[in-house]
Structure 1
Amino acid sequence: MARLFSQPAQGLSPAGVFTAPGGQRFRFGPWRREPSAGHLVPLGGLVDGLSALAATDHLQGLGYKEIFTSALTLHERDPFLSLGYEVDQELTLLKRPLGLAVSPLKKPRPRPLRRSDNPQVLLIDALSFDAFWRFDAASIYEAKRATPQARQRVFCEDRQAVAYAVTGAGLTDGFIQRLAVHPDHRGQGLGSQLLDDGLRWLQRKGLAHAWVNTQPQNEPALLLYRKAGFVDCSGGLAVLKRVIHEEST
């Protein structure tokens, strides 16, 4: 059974929630700027093979030519790998106890992100990440609603956003969903201040840990997170991909 969030313009596939026969739920929709590619996101709990198959068949029936999963841990990948999915992208996963101290608050402080900031935020994102990982406007919205609560902050210069962060709060843990600084403004400590702002917010909510992931080759980001007390988790994360062939069932 599928519940649609929306029916996009002609030629694009819908987005919504699919419920497998066993009750496992998946969010689905187009993969960012690629309407022929589907994005499949398990919603809570480990996925069994039959549920993964049902969700894959559902997206194939919608006309997607390839399917990308969300970033999965080592244990979450097995049912998808058994269906012919392959590792497409790998990420380093890091974790930090929120009981650790955070650097003292500095000025100036970041302000809340406004809708009018979105064009500049998207530019910062495009300059900070490889094409596969770049956000579009829908991705920023998805990052905000990925957790029950979210905090979006920006640093500005001459009324233009130069750095931004999205931090999410779950029921027990928090997540640094996104953090990027314009190349012309790096080395000024803006990334550290945005990270500390998010960590303080998560601490005030009494959460246990903060999680973040980034590309293994993103050395500046890894240095930033490790200096802030994050440690690498074994196995990391991986986005899996399956190409849909006409004869697939």
Structure 2
Amino acid sequence: MAILQEKAETLPGEGEVYAASPTDFKAFWPEIKSSYAFRNRRDFLAFMRENHGRIYCLYRKEVELPPFVLVGDWRNHSDIRALLQVKAEPWEREALIRGASEACLAEGTRCLITRPLPDREAEEYASWGFRPFCTVVLLEKTLRRESFPREPDGASIGHFRGRDLEEVLETDAAAFEDFWRLDRRTLSRIAESCLQNVFLVAKQGNRICGYVIGGANGRLGYLQRLGVHPRFQGQGLGECLARRLLRALQLMGATLVSVNTQEDNLPALSLYRKLGFRETGEKRFILQFPARESPGSRR
């Protein structure tokens, strides 16, 4: 039986957008799990409870699972929602996404942001009223006999332990502007996102002052997050953490490593180029709805 068919008296008209009931969230899991945004169904349901998750659907009669879009709070920002997944045919996407966006705004959301989109998809969203938020640059590096760097004076680098979590989050909050700061869930998800993962922390004495996260899926490696507390920047700590990560990825069997950052994040681009990364020429675009002043900037 199609979802919500037993509730016919409350259903919208054909082609209208409605919010799925929380009791129906489990039914969407087989499609949502393909996005790799959640570890398992329990993680997905916890996100829906804790991050104001919503599933907006385009009503279609006699379908087992209607076209839908999944949205939820952007990290720990309750006034900014992220469009996490869209499952719809091309001719259904505009009505679904515009309807979901308007519904979120009616609930008090300040704006919605998209995931990083390629050119053609970004143009499609722009035609629906979305406007640019930031441009993401993609860089790659071929690994060739990566050396094991010396630690900067007074610093030690080791593997992340569970007891380090709060200090890592504090370091991240100091290193990044508010919009780009990680929350506990996003940090954990990044650290577990690959088949093989690396999470290193740098300490000055007993205090964590920087960290790096990466991983490898076969021969493809990823530098996913690098943060150094502002008080310890300019001492070569970020470069050392990144080089330790590259060496670890090489030992895992990775031969090509990718990283991305915002187009206007010049310090990060300078560091990655120094490490041997080169821009691929590809870009991704994060858009927001409605058009307004950007909610954040540098990552």
- State the structure with more CA Rg: 2
In the alignment, the residues of structure 2 paired with residue 174 and residue 48 of structure 1 have an alpha-carbon distance, to the nearest angstrom, of 32
Name the counterpart of 2:75: 32
TM-score, normalization by structure 2:
0.66
Asked whether the 8 Å contact 1:68–1:240 carries over to 2, the reply is yes
Asked whether the 8 Å contact 1:48–1:79 carries over to 2, the reply is no
1:125 to partner: Cα distance: 1.7
Aligned partner of residue 199 in structure 2, secondary structure: strand
Superposed CA offset, 1:179-202 (max 9, x none): 011122223322112111221222
Name the counterpart of 2:207: 160
Aligned partner of residue 225 in structure 2, secondary structure: strand
**Residue correspondences, number:** 239
Asked whether the 8 Å contact 1:49–1:79 carries over to 2, the reply is no
Superposed CA offset, 1:159-189 (max 9, x none): 2111101113235522211101112222332
Cα 1:105/1:119, change in 2 over 3 Å? same
In the alignment, the residues of structure 1 paired with residue 195 and residue 97 of structure 2 have an alpha-carbon distance, to the nearest angstrom, of 24
Asked whether the 8 Å contact 2:69–2:96 carries over to 1, the reply is no
Root-mean-square deviation (CA), in Å? 3.6
Aligned partner of residue 96 in structure 1, secondary structure: strand
Cα 1:173/1:57, change in 2 over 3 Å? farther
Asked whether the 8 Å contact 2:220–2:254 carries over to 1, the reply is yes
Superposed CA offset, 1:63-108 (max 9, x none): 573321122333442343333222112233211123x332334347
In the alignment, the residues of structure 1 paired with residue 278 and residue 209 of structure 2 have an alpha-carbon distance, to the nearest angstrom, of 27
* Greater fraction of residues in helix: 2
Asked whether the 8 Å contact 1:31–1:39 carries over to 2, the reply is yes
Percent identical residues: 26
Between 222-231 and 140-149, report the one with greater CA deviation.
140-149
Name the counterpart of 1:122: 169
Asked whether the 8 Å contact 1:91–1:238 carries over to 2, the reply is yes
Asked whether the 8 Å contact 2:134–2:286 carries over to 1, the reply is yes
Unaligned runs of 5+ in 2: 1-26, 30-43, 58-62, 292-299
Superposed CA offset, 1:110-132 (max 9, x none): 22222322222222222222222
In the alignment, the residues of structure 2 paired with residue 152 and residue 26 of structure 1 have an alpha-carbon distance, to the nearest angstrom, of 32
